[in-house]
Amino acid sequence: MRIPVKLNVGDEIRIVAPSRSAGILSKEGFDQAKNRLEDLGFKVTFGKNILESDLQNSSSIEQRVQDIHEAFHDTNVKGILTVIGGFNSNELLPYLDYELIKNNPKVFCGYSDITAIGTAITTQSGFITYSGPHFSSFHMEKAQEYQTTFFKKCLMQSEAYSVESSPIWSDDAWYLDQENRHFEEANWKTYSEGSTKGPLYGGNLSTLNLLQGTPYMPAIKDCVLFIEDDELTIPETFARDLTSLLQVAGNIKALVVGRFQRVSKVTEEQLLFILDKHPMLKEIPVLYDVNFGHTQPIFTFPIGGEVEINSTNKTITFTKF
């Protein structure tokens, strides 16, 4: 798997909207995200169609594909960030020019619904993409330091590094109220102990499962699987979606589960009940309540990269990213 050229201070980052459009953001949020990326030393430019918004707060397939193709084709652009997630990035998959993308590998980062398009690019074009902050994520103020630190480590350096747990986490709708936030103590948790290494795939579980049966689904047998889900899941749907993915894989080397939003009602009791259903998960390293997904803060990880997991010591080390 190829690694895109890492970002450097002074590089141009293009913002595209493969899912929901930027029109869903407040002007304050838009400006603050742009300013924060510029403060990191990047030049920030925007796809021409990111403000177009239809009945479902998105834009046409043609408009979204055009912006992605232009971002990959433009030699001045060194990295691509998505505006935000949503529901429909998988609509684009048959219409992307994967040869164009393959011949112009560059950093592509987003999470949630962006799991579909990032994974498809990795599968079809043969280079690592990244599950990490959206453009809109840089609007967040509190807990931004953790998010930015591991964004930079993953996308701006080449040396292997380890991620540690954030000491705090939040489930607040921070984009509605930046001041009155509630944080709780955080730590990663071990379901089953062990250590292993291997290729990494994953992201948003329900979105990744949309790729099953298509050419865009990666071969996840013997991989380290990172999965999370959002507020729309419930214990029963998470359980069946996880089962489906494990059946597709056959065998995996490790499982890492992102922290759930409280509204999902996937409590620790429910999650342990679900994990207990699968004998294979008692035989491999499994971590949960890890800092990625739809709670804050999150770290960035490489789709198609390589990772070492030690669930006994609760360490995650990225070795190819």
- The residues that are catalytic are 112, 228, 294
- Sign of the dihedral defined by the CA atoms of residues 285, 289, 295, 298, in that order: negative
Residues with Cβ within 8 Å of residue 175, at least 6 apart in sequence: 26, 29, 136, 139, 140
Residues with Cβ within 8 Å of residue 39, at least 6 apart in sequence: none
For residues 84 and 24, the answer to whether their CB atoms sit within 8 Å is yes
Which ranges of 78-223 would DSSP assign to H, the alpha helix? 98-102, 114-125, 144-156, 205-208
Q: Which residues of 246-266 are buried (b: 16+ CB within 10 A; e: fewer)?
A: bebbeebbbbbbbbbbeebeb
- Residue 277 to residue 214: CA distance in whole angstroms: 27
Q: Which residues of 138-152 are buried (b: 16+ CB within 10 A; e: fewer)?
A: bbbeebbebbbebbe
Question: Residues 299, 95, 92, 227: what is their CA dihedral angle, to the nearest 10 degrees?
Answer: -40
